[in-house]
Each structure stands twice: as C-alpha cells, then as structure tokens.
Chains A and B, each alone.
Chain A
Amino acid sequence: QVQLKESGPGLVQPSQTLSLTCTVSGFSLTSNSVSWVRQPPGKGLEWMGAIWSGGSTDYNSALKSRLSISRDTSKSQVFLKMNSLQTEDTAIYFCTRGSSYWGQGVMVTVSS
C-alpha cells in the first residue's frame, strides 16, 4: 500500500539549513508527484512545493529563495532542503503523494 514517511532532525538552530527526507513505498516517483506541506503549531497548512514525475519542481514563491526539492528515484526518496531557518519555520512538515496520500509528518523546531 501507499506509504510516505518523513525523517529529519527535530531541532535546528536559527540560520541553519533544514534537511528532510521523505521515503515512499507502494508507488513510483517517476509516475507520481510528491509535495511538501507544513503546519506551524496552532496555524494553518502551507504548501511549500512539489517535484513532478518528470523531475521538474515548483515552489511556493514565498519560500522559493530558500527552498530546494530533489529526489533519488533509486531509493524512493524525496528531499527537502531549506536554508536560513528562523523560529517561524517551526512546524510539522508533511510529504504527500500528489494531493492524495500524506505522511504522518515530522516536527521541526527552530531554536538555539
């Protein structure tokens, strides 16, 4: 069955770079897109960007200058890298297959 699982550090220092991995199973990255979505505590959801089946990417313009999404199809993994983190980047980060299946999310706290 379709599964997505996010992994990464729970704590990141301000100004540092966040690196997250989404490991997927039950589907192929060359046939499906994967998006990243985040949810700050007590706030709404924000779509961050996506990598499409062909490998191209789209980003939320609000994050584009700091964000990079890539993948390793041989490992069924999608990567998110975001630099210059600030406290307002504290959130649960989700990866999703298209707009259908979601991972459980990983909590990332930005704090010194």
Chain B
Amino acid sequence: DIQMTQSPSFLSASVGDRVTINCKASQNINKYLNWYQQKLGEAPKRLIYNTNNLQTGIPSRFSGSGSGTDYTLTISSLQPEDFATYFCLQHNSFPWTFGGGTKLELK
C-alpha cells in the first residue's frame, strides 16, 4: 500500500496568513492527489483534484501543486471559514490511501 505522510499535523495561523500543508507519498502517485476540507459534523469537501485542479465553487485562495511523491496545498490568505481539518488522498493505486490530516487552528 502507498503510505501518505502529511505534515504538519497541527497548524496555528491567523486570518490573512499564507499556509502550506504537505503530503509525501511512499512512491510516485502520478499527480493523482486530492485535497479535502473537513469541518466537525459535516461531509468532507473536495478542494483540489489531481494535484492542481480547483473544484468548482472553491475559492481561488486554495491551490495545489506537486509531482512524483511530494504535494502541497496552499491557502494564500486565510479566511475565518478556513479553520478546519485538511487531508489528502492518493487515488493512483488501490487501496486508495489518505494522509493523517492537518488541523488548522486560529492562533
């Protein structure tokens, strides 16, 4: 199975900050990497698919990049509604596997 190592696990930041979250795969996942936002009690929401494609309706302050084994989610200017948990998913090969999650908290 492909292991997804996500960092950091916790992140404290302020409104307006630029933040980055990383996922490292144990092998090449050919850019089949999605990013999700999860808020307590809500369904996870896909933000980015296949590394750098913004899901319809998601603000442009969210962006993704990467290739091979290393991928990054960037939020260019944090808004109050962005404080949530974020996780990545590789869907290059079965079983699909997830990063451990990043909890983004208000500093």
With beta carbons under 8 angstroms apart, the residue of B43, B95, B96 that contacts A99 is: B96
Contact flags B10-24 to A (C-beta < 8 A → 1, else 0): 000000000000000
**Total A-B Cβ pairs within 8 A:** 45
Which residues does chain B contribute within 8 Å of A61, judged by CB atoms? 95
Q: List 26 A-B contacts (CB under 8 A).
A: A35-B96, A44-B98, A44-B100, A44-B101, A45-B87, A45-B89, A45-B98, A45-B101, A46-B98, A58-B94, A60-B94, A61-B95, A94-B43, A94-B44, A99-B46, A99-B49, A99-B91, A99-B96, A100-B49, A100-B55, A101-B43, A101-B46, A102-B36, A104-B41, A104-B42, A105-B43
B97, CB-defined interface residue at 8 Å: yes
Closest chain B residue to A43, Cβ basis:
B100
B-to-A contact residues, CB < 8 Å: 34, 36, 41-46, 49, 55, 87, 89, 91, 94-101
Please give, as numbers and ranges, the residues of chain B lying within 8 Å of A47 by CB-CB distance.
89, 95-98
- The reply to whether the CB of A14 lies closer than 8 angstroms to some CB of chain B is no
* Interface residue range, chain A: 10 to 19
A103 interfacial by beta-carbon distance below 8 Å: yes
Within the complex, what minimum Cβ distance (angstroms) separates A66 from chain B?
Answer: 15
B98, closest chain A residue (CB): A45
Q: Which residues of A contact B44 (CB under 8 A)?
A: 94, 102
